[in-house]
Structures are given as structure tokens and as C-alpha cells.
Structure 1
């Protein structure tokens, strides 16, 4: 059956037996070192990508044209109409 405990598990608590713990002990240190390296590489890639994507400002050199008061009032009216339509 699928849920039958193996001989390396306690039949009452489903915990690992002392024999299994002793068998896994020599590999614990190397597994933790591998986990640290893998997590470090992953964190390094994510942080590098995040910094690279957020430092770029493509439109910093594009000048914003001046707008006169008449155009500004017209844009405000259009914005208010659009906002009222959505509500």
C-alpha cells in the first residue's frame, strides 16, 4: 500500500529511525553547502536583474514640451469627464 511505512520509519510516529538519521548524517554538511551556493546564485541573479532593470531611464533625455493654459484646461475637462464615466 502507498502509505505503508518503510523499515526506516517508526511505525507509530512515522519519524525517521536512528539508523536512517545516522545514514544521512555524512551528507548533511555537503547538502547544506550546496543549498547555500544554489540560493546565493539565485539571489545574485535576481538582484543583478532587478538593479539592471531599474537603473535604466529611457526617456530621461526627452524634453517635455510646454503646454499653455488653454490646452491644460481642456485636458482637465476631458479627464474629469472620463473619470465620471467610469464611476
Structure 2
């Protein structure tokens, strides 16, 4: 027989029997504390990493060269032409 029936499960509904519920009761509080600790640790690591990675100031010390009005007009014209070609 591949799977033997557990004496702690009802064979018709596969729900836990009162004996199984009584056997698990002393460990419930400890399991919930462990679950909260692991969940808190995981969420804390996630948010620490998220906040660390969003401090992106790699190019803050690089000066942006000024753009003249003629260059800006030329870039706008090229952009509009590209957009019309795609449509």
C-alpha cells in the first residue's frame, strides 16, 4: 500500500481528528511566533534592499551641458519625424 492511513485523520473527510488537534495545540503559539519572526525578517530584508537600491545618485556629480535653443529645436524636429515614421 503506497500510503497508509494516518490515525490522526478522519478517513472519510481527511480532516484532523480531535486527538491531532490536541497534539498540535502546545506548539501553536511557538509556531506562530516563528512564523512572525521569519515573515518580519523577510519583509525587513526586502524593504532594506529596496530602499538601498533606490538611492541611485551615481550621476549626481556629472554636470549637464547646456543645450542651445537651436539644438533643442533640431532635437524636437527629429523626435517628431521619428514618431510620425513609426505611425
CA distance in 1, matches of 2:31, 2:38: 10
Match of 1:48 in 2: 48
TM-score normalized by the length of structure 1: 0.83
- List runs of 5+ in structure 1 lacking aligned partners: none
Shift of 1:51: 1.1
CA–CA separation in structure 1 for the residues paired with 2:80 and 2:65: 23
Counterpart in 2 of 1:82? 82
Structure 1 position 45, deviation (Å): 0.7
Q: 1:37 and 1:7 mapped to 2: Cα distance? A: 32
User: How much is the aligned-residue C-alpha RMSD, in angstroms?
Assistant: 1.9
TM-score of the pair, normalised by structure 2? 0.83
Residue 38 of structure 1, CA deviation: 0.6
Partner residue, 2:71: 71
Map 1:22-61 onto structure 2 (within 5 A). Answer: 22-61=22-61
What stretches of structure 2 of length at least 5 have no aligned partner? none
User: CA contact under 8 A between 1:5 and 1:14: conserved in structure 2?
Assistant: no
Deviation at 1:12, TM superposition (A): 3.3
